[in-house]
Amino acid sequence: MSSAEPHGPLSGIRVVELGNFIAAPTAGRLLGDFGADVIKVERPGVGDELRTWRRHGGDTSLLFRALGRNKRSLTLDLRTDEGRRIALELIAKADIVLENFRPGTLERWGMGPEVLTERNPGLILVRVSGYGQTGPYRDRPGFGGVAEAVGGLRHVVGYPDRPPVRVGISLADTVAGLYAVIGALMGLVQRQSSSVGDTVDVALYEAVYSLMESLTPDYDAFGVTRAPAGSGLPGIVPSNTYPCADGKFVVISGNGDAIFRRLMEAIGRPDLRDDPSLTDNAGRVAQQELLDEAIEQWTRSHSRATVLETLQNHDVPSGSIYEAPDILADEHFRARDMHEVHAVDIGDTEPREVTFPGIVPKLTSRPGSTRWVGPELSQHTDAILSELGYTTAERDRLRSEGIV
């Protein structure tokens, strides 16, 4: 959808996004997807650095177009007294503020939680940082990659005989953005009964640590230290990536007891299906190498299409390892409205229609929508200042002084 009219369960909610990069902007994007009026405050003339990250053409990266969708861009120099005063005017009428500066930055600007809540008692202030607003590490700089290391993720990703690796996306930042949204929504629910806002403290490393399942309990109780396990899933068998005859790969998750039996039927191994030592996960973990070899021997003998068809006929969870062209060609993505086409400037003479990811999650009665992709820098500055009561002459002065 491209309608400029907001709709969705968060219609009427105003969000001021003070953050840059990935984490807080991810939260702003999600809130905007479901109808919130998200005002993104950016530095005049420069904007969010994400505008130039992974840019392949044009003036603005498609990464920013994706994370900046449904937001209005207001340029404002928060290093100036007047810039901060305008920000405070805007925040006084907001429901949620998102920020991911280093702890203490808002306080140095005279915009700490006490100041903001004095002006707006119902405000939900969401603060995202590397290590949180308290604790001995609070002042350390922290990006998502570091958080993935400190939170325990990097150590278990990769292969035992190689250096730790990372996944190819900003996972820590995105997960922190999800927690930021959860915290913001809980604050809004609480405000319904108390009329009082709250401050939400999201740390990148904690967002990662929360994903680590029983990593520390297993160590604390049994002295078990998780190690990198390649493409498998430690302690859950069989669940791995297997090569096919045509050089393609498939992921097979046959780790449920009943699913395992169906998988063994699919690969023609009734001996393993009926082996009493393999009836539960504990027994299969003890013989993981045997099972992976049996499955791989079968997958290597067939094309990916044949492997997947056979597994689907036996109701075994499986799938291809998709690249971007596979995703774009997949009918299920299209049927679920996960492909949205929007015209954007990518540096050609005319805007080009480009496919972007759709809205998640799906709501039935009041679904979200993409009203526009990430805006041009300062695209909505005049409109927003006008809403605050600034005249054309005042806006021109602010612009000439570099404040907006």
Per residue in 45-54, pLDDT (tens digit) is 999 999 999 9
Angle at 353 between CA 349 and CA 358, to 5 degrees: 150
Single out the residue of 345, 404, 372, 355 nearest to residue 59, CA to CA: 345
pLDDT higher than threshold 50 for residue 18: yes
Beta bridge partners of 39: 16, 72
Same domain for 255 and 349: no
What pLDDT score was predicted for residue 6? 58
In a domain, 70, yes or no: yes
Peptide bond into 160 cis (omega under 30): no
Same domain for 34 and 62: yes
pLDDT higher than threshold 70 for residue 286: yes
Is residue 46 within 8 A of residue 126, CB to CB? The reply is no
* AA identity, residue 120: N
pLDDT higher than threshold 90 for residue 182: yes
Per residue in 141-170, pLDDT (tens digit) is 999 999 999 999 999 999 999 999 988 999
pLDDT higher than threshold 90 for residue 270: yes
pLDDT higher than threshold 90 for residue 4: no
| End position of a domain, from candidates 320, 350, 366 | 320
Tokens at 98, concatenated: 């998102």
pTM for the whole thing?
A: 0.94
What pLDDT score was predicted for residue 369? 95
Is residue 35 within 8 A of residue 363, CB to CB? The reply is no
| End position of a domain, from candidates 320, 342, 360 | 320
Is residue 143 within 8 A of residue 136, CB to CB? The reply is no
Same domain for 343 and 296: no
Q: Looking at residues 104-128, what average pLDDT do you find? A: 97
Same domain for 151 and 281: no
Same domain for 169 and 61: yes
59 classed as catalytic: no
What pLDDT score was predicted for residue 3? 44
- Look over the chain and give the mean of its residue pLDDT values, rounded to a whole number: 96
Same domain for 205 and 94: yes
What pLDDT score was predicted for residue 5? 55
Beta bridge partners of 233: 236
Same domain for 85 and 139: yes
In a domain, 326, yes or no: no
Residue, of 253 and 7, whose pLDDT is higher: 253
In a domain, 4, yes or no: no
Chain position carrying tokens 């612009």: 399
Q: Looking at residues 217-227, what average pLDDT do you find? A: 95
Same domain for 69 and 176: yes
Alpha helices (runs of H) in 165-203, residue ranges in sequence order: 171-194
Same domain for 359 and 289: no
Q: How many domains does the chain have?
A: 2
The catalytically annotated residue of 48, 77, 173, 292 is 173
pLDDT higher than threshold 90 for residue 206: yes
- Domain extent for 286: 239-243+249-320
| End position of a domain, from candidates 272, 291, 320 | 320
pLDDT higher than threshold 50 for residue 212: yes
pLDDT confidence of 290, banded at 50, 70, 90? Answer: very high
Burial of 212 (0-12, 13-18, 19+ CB in 10 A): middle
Same domain for 201 and 107: yes
Question: Taking the CB of residue 247, how many other CB atoms lie within 10 A of it?
Answer: 8
What span, in angstroms and rounded, lies between the C-alpha atoms of 158 and 83?
46
What span, in angstroms and rounded, lies between the C-alpha atoms of 40 and 17?
5
Q: What residues have CB less than 8 Å from 299, skipping those under 6 apart? A: 242, 243, 244, 245, 250, 252, 307
Same domain for 256 and 141: no
Same domain for 344 and 271: no
What is the dihedral angle through the alpha carbons of 325, 328, 329, 331, rounded to the nearest 10 degrees?
A: 150
In a domain, 225, yes or no: no
pLDDT higher than threshold 60 for residue 134: yes
The CATH number of residue 292's host domain is: 3.30.1540.10
pLDDT higher than threshold 90 for residue 229: no
Helix (H) / strand (E) element for 154: namely helix 153-156
pLDDT confidence of 1, banded at 50, 70, 90? Answer: very low
In a domain, 78, yes or no: yes
What pLDDT score was predicted for residue 192? 95
pLDDT higher than threshold 60 for residue 254: yes
Single out the residue of 294, 264, 298 nearest to residue 279, CA to CA: 264
Radius of gyration of the chain (CA): 25
pLDDT higher than threshold 60 for residue 261: yes
